[in-house]
Structure 1
Amino acid sequence: MNTVPALFESVVARRGGEPALIEAEDTLRYAELNTRINRLARLLIAHGVGPDSLVAVAMPKSRELIVSIMAVLKAGGAYLPLDPEYPAERLSFMLSDARPVLLLRSSSVAPLGKLGEGPQEVVCDDPAFRAACARLPEHDVAQHERRAPLRPEHLMYVIYTSGSTGTPKGVAVPHSGVPDMVATQRAVLRAGPGDRVLQWASISFDAAFWDVSLALLSGAALVTVAAEELLPGHPLGNTLVKYGITHAVLPPVALSETDADDVLPGGTVMSTGDSCTPTLVRKWSRTRRMFNGYGPTEVTVGATIAGPVRDTGDIAIGAPWVGKRVHVLDERLRPVPPGKEGELYIAGSGLARGYLNRSPATAGKFVADPFGPPGTRMYRTGDRGRRGPDGQLFFAGRADGQVKVRGFRVELGEIEARLAAHPVVDVAVAVVRGELADAHVVGYVTTTAPVDPGDLRAHVAASLPAHMVPARVTVLERFPTLTNGKIDRGALPRPEADAGVLAHAGAPAAGAEPAAGAREPEADDCAAAVCAIVRDVLRAPEATAADNFFELGGHSVQATRLVSRIRERFGVALPMRTVLEAASIGELAAVVGSRLPA
């Protein structure tokens, strides 16, 4: 009962006829889901998958994705999630670094490796592959059928995080922390038969495993929908209502953009991934139970949980999970008194093995635990925190250059390294501007030759995921410095003041920025009106019909705002996909114009 397959099979034995996985109008019950997982697991074993072997999984959000990762675990392997939305260069790096024995993908995802290089690729929805699965036995996979017995210390998944040196690191997490995680979920969130859990997080983040386990290891139903139906705002709100979601784990950026009325009535919502604010607690805790969670990727999903939380000032990150200990220590690893800030260290069950193929980095972050039995370790989080008089823990920021951007963990050093890799960039600096949904990265560079900031953004976008691409890059003649000669990040020009620099570097000349929330004047030119809305949403000095919304620095959350503003201005309800697929603002405006009454 100490591995994911064993825990899942115990639920199937009790709840075989209950709904397990819901996608659109289709529902798989636990026994049916288990059959599909067992058959695919046997085929994976035949392809060489076993304990401590990695299987890369590349497919969009879908029922097949859930079946695939559960089958990898049943086979005894560990899954390496590859989000198809990530740049091909990023995915290729993870494949070459992790060296999985197999790549499992759907036909909607293009081949990721070069011919003759990398792992063998299997297309899971290929008719011949499906037929081969259907011919295999449906009963549970026994230990003797695996290439070796599966034990709690074996790997469960490897998830890559942003790296401070410019190179992502794979965090290797075993099964051993799952029983205590499930015990915490059972004691605090209390999901079970009859409940519906939303699978919100990207599979490339450990929060996705929390969603899966909260449902499938408790007897509840997991609801999976397409990514565009999960965008913060109207899409997410509609999904919560449409599927009758009772439990949702969402980052503050999603909570801030989504209307709390009429969703999750009497249900449970958990904020995680970034700092939760009193405003969000006031908004979401009124008619439902609300919790606040905390934990880095280097542990099994999380470490502490607070709640049900109320709007009472500072929002705690709570108390340690079952089986975990959290220490607040000074620079000499001595406990600090309650109320005093120190660095948070996590010990107990659920620690990762370390960073895949990176022993020095592992040794620097997973250190000996002076408060535990001999041979035990603790993880040095780099987070600052304090302990309240009642023992509750509070987050107080980072001790280094790591930041959170719309719930994503980002090392600014990785962005700076990618900018600096451009042939004409001399020095590069990245900072974060804004908060929650408005949080975005801004880059600053000095160069050895003229360059268009758009080219620099494209250079970064070729290898980094969208949330790490700077919304704007400013070319400076020189960086402001402190008296010791170091760059003065606090004196870097705000983006609103960059219009002249951007225009000088090749961007369009700046226009006057409309006041936030101001209504645009009525105009016959639909394109001009949509451009004005885009300028307001992005707080950009200029946006023309030829520009692309996302190339101007827009992201998915701002796209939901754009749809809302267009609905208010024109009375036209656009599908989110229209914004995502529009090549230019002019093309988007043409769609709006075509839907206006004659």
Structure 2
Amino acid sequence: MRTVNDLFESTVARVGQEPALISPGGTVGYARLNADANRLARRLVAAGVGPDTLVAVAVPRTAGLMTVLLAVLKAGGAYLPLDPAYPVERLSFMLRDARPVLLVRSSRVSVPGAGVPELLIDDPAVAATVAAQPPRDLTDRERRAPLRPGHLMYVIYTSGSTGRPKGVAVTHAGVAALVASQAAQLGAGPGDRVLQWASISFDAAFWDISLALLSGAALVLAPADDLLPGPPLHDTMIRNAVTHATLPPVALSVTDAGGLLPGGVVMSTGDAITRPLARTWSKGRRMFNGYGPTEVTVGIAMGPINGDEEISIGRPLLGSAVHVLDERLGEAAPGEEGELYLAGPGLARGYLGRPAETAARFVADPYGTAGSRMYRSGDRGRRRADGELFFAGRADDQVKIRGFRVELGEIEARLTGHPAVELACAVVEGGLAEARVVAYARTRPGDPVTGPDLRAHLAAALPAHMVPAAVVVLESFPTTPNGKIDRAALRRAPAPAPGCDDVCGMAAEILGVPEARPEDNFFDLGGHSVLATLLARRIRREFGVSVPIRSIFEAATLADIEGLVQAGS
């Protein structure tokens, strides 16, 4: 097994003069990226970074971010990505829980330090110190200890069913198999351009990075605004001549496939893709479906999609295994459903600082070598007689919203943490692009707290993708015959659709809320990037006016959006 450093440095040796990063700030070649990362890595070693130490990283999506991530790995450390858009409470928790030895950030980003030493990469004094370091690759003698594949590579925090986010600790051990599988099926290499779409706070970002920088292709970086699903994403891919892109189905569903990736590769991941969507995107390009929770090195299975056939999640990556097991951990017969248990070198070490939760999910593998483990995914699936795997849904309350993993239990736990809430339940409503979480709460009799109050309470603690589109206060919950909350009844409850032909009416219909007033903010009502794309598309269809999605983000109220429509009429 090899580390990311081994794989990247061998790529640099082969294609040193090829472009590695393409961004609005210019193009950076492999040789320069490697030298910059080596210089910064030596500064990180001097700051105490070494194997199995964590470095929190809060840097905007730029070439500088890639330099920092590579430098952390070259120093022997593991990176903990911090999304500046996360609530302060969430970032503070991650820092307290992970206890990194260092926080690397730029002056453009402010995060709660929580007592962690900081390195400001764009500070002139720091930049001068880094520039003075040698550009050559680091050796194990220069690190605080030799770096091995079993050492940590990154820690990604996921939603936790108990209301407490979990840090998934992933090592270098699975990267070589991942890269070999990417090469065998996706075939990226020198001359290709890979879109870096996923947020760095999600493990899918490492898929983009490894597909490009460990193959010799160029990684295309763009500001978040230019990656919004719909016209911005389409234009960004055209402008940068992207040849390989990995996108969740919800982004594919609102982005025009025309002219994109001619003869290239598109991969769907993060959620189940529909056959009509697969038919659209598999024309004129190769299309793949991927599967893998955060508890593995990004992916565990992958396979080609033919839009006319039943869509599978492919077969296990090289060296990996996906077991379809019954309740007694026996192999399910071909065609029969069971729970998916995952094994192989890409398995995470476990949950950071949570031995009990690790032991519960990472269990002994009766089908592997002595001492080997497998991950109990909580996903259900089946295996066809020819070995092809098919996803069949979740066995618990974990869901995917726009490709993001969400534990409904964490939302419910946060909601019941409010002093006025006696009972809470969260459900998913709507189809693929419109999918949203709606939370329901019963409050103490006589308490004046409202649904918007409770939504604001959640927004102060949860990432944006986990904040419910609405919180509805109920006097009582529907129940099943055994007295449990009837979640299906809550999901079936129709959201009033006003059917208006003005912007407020359109917004209410798209958001699934009873009313949207001119003074309301689209995103405070539960909007997000995909729904903003749908609103822009609806305005264009109904009024013949093109309102930029960025303008919808910047509009303080729906009245402001109405003004843009009138100005364009």
Which TM-score band applies after superposition, normalised by the shorter structure?
over 0.9
Choose from 351, 356, 361 the match for 2:352. 356
- Is residue 496–residue 541 contact of structure 1 (8 Å, CA) maintained in 2? no
Q: For 1:165, give the aligned amino acid.
A: T
Give the corresponding residue for 2:121. Answer: 124
Asked if residue 233 in structure 1 is aligned to residue 205 in structure 2, the reply is: no
Give the corresponding residue for 1:211. Answer: 208
- 1:318-467 equivalent positions in 2, closer than 5 A: 318-448=314-444, 449-467=447-465
In 2: Cα distance, 1:438 partner to 1:190 partner: 33
Distance 1:495 1:108, change over 3 A: farther
Identical positions, percent:
63
- The 4+ residue runs of structure 1 with deviation greater than 6 A are none
Distance 1:338 1:530, change over 3 A: same
- Is residue 168–residue 294 contact of structure 2 (8 Å, CA) maintained in 1? yes
Shift of 1:334: 0.4
Choose from 185, 190, 201 the match for 1:188. 185
Q: For 2:273, give the aligned amino acid.
A: C
Give the corresponding residue for 1:523. Answer: none
Give the corresponding residue for 2:56. Answer: 56
In 1: Cα distance, 2:188 partner to 2:551 partner: 36
Asked if residue 549 in structure 1 is aligned to residue 545 in structure 2, the reply is: no
Q: Secondary structure at the match of 1:442?
A: strand
Q: For 1:533, give the aligned amino acid.
A: M
Asked if residue 513 in structure 1 is aligned to residue 508 in structure 2, the reply is: no
Q: Secondary structure at the match of 1:437?
A: coil
1:385-440 per-residue CA deviation (whole Å, 9 max, x = no partner) reads 00012110000011111111111111100000011111111000000011221110
Shift of 1:475: 1.1
1:434-468 per-residue CA deviation (whole Å, 9 max, x = no partner) reads 12211100001110023211111000011111111
In 2: Cα distance, 1:272 partner to 1:342 partner: 21
TM-score, normalised by the number of residues in structure 2: 0.97
- Is residue 99–residue 118 contact of structure 1 (8 Å, CA) maintained in 2? no
Distance 1:364 1:452, change over 3 A: same
- 1:213-292 equivalent positions in 2, closer than 5 A: 213-292=210-289
In 2: Cα distance, 1:574 partner to 1:134 partner: 45
Choose from 477, 502, 508 the match for 1:479. 477
In 2: Cα distance, 1:247 partner to 1:177 partner: 22
- Is residue 433–residue 441 contact of structure 1 (8 Å, CA) maintained in 2? yes
Give the corresponding residue for 2:466. Answer: 468
1:93-120 per-residue CA deviation (whole Å, 9 max, x = no partner) reads 111000001111121211322xxx4311
Give the corresponding residue for 1:537. Answer: 510
1:298-346 per-residue CA deviation (whole Å, 9 max, x = no partner) reads 0111100011x11234210011000101111011100010000000001
Distance 1:154 1:494, change over 3 A: same
Give the corresponding residue for 2:568. Answer: 596
Q: Secondary structure at the match of 2:324?
A: strand
Q: Which runs of 5+ in 1 are unaligned?
A: 500-511, 521-528
Give the corresponding residue for 2:14. Answer: 14
Shift of 1:240: 1.0
Distance 1:570 1:480, change over 3 A: closer
Give the corresponding residue for 1:42. Answer: 42
- Is residue 513–residue 539 contact of structure 1 (8 Å, CA) maintained in 2? no
- Is residue 343–residue 385 contact of structure 1 (8 Å, CA) maintained in 2? yes
- Is residue 105–residue 121 contact of structure 2 (8 Å, CA) maintained in 1? yes
Aligned length in residues: 567
Give the corresponding residue for 1:67. Answer: 67
Give the corresponding residue for 1:164. Answer: 161
Q: Which runs of 5+ in 2 are unaligned?
A: none
1:458-515 per-residue CA deviation (whole Å, 9 max, x = no partner) reads 0001111111111111111111112221111112265645x6xxxxxxxxxxxx6117
1:13-67 per-residue CA deviation (whole Å, 9 max, x = no partner) reads 1101001000026100100111111111111111111110000111222111111
- Is residue 22–residue 223 contact of structure 1 (8 Å, CA) maintained in 2? yes
User: What CA RMSD, in Å, does the superposition of the two structures yield over aligned residues?
Assistant: 1.5
- 1:485-500 equivalent positions in 2, closer than 5 A: 485-492=483-490, 494=492, 496-497=494-495
1:144-203 per-residue CA deviation (whole Å, 9 max, x = no partner) reads 111111110000000011111111100000001000001000101000000000000011
Asked if residue 105 in structure 1 is aligned to residue 105 in structure 2, the reply is: yes
Give the corresponding residue for 2:137. Answer: 140
Shift of 1:569: 4.7
In 2: Cα distance, 1:198 partner to 1:476 partner: 44
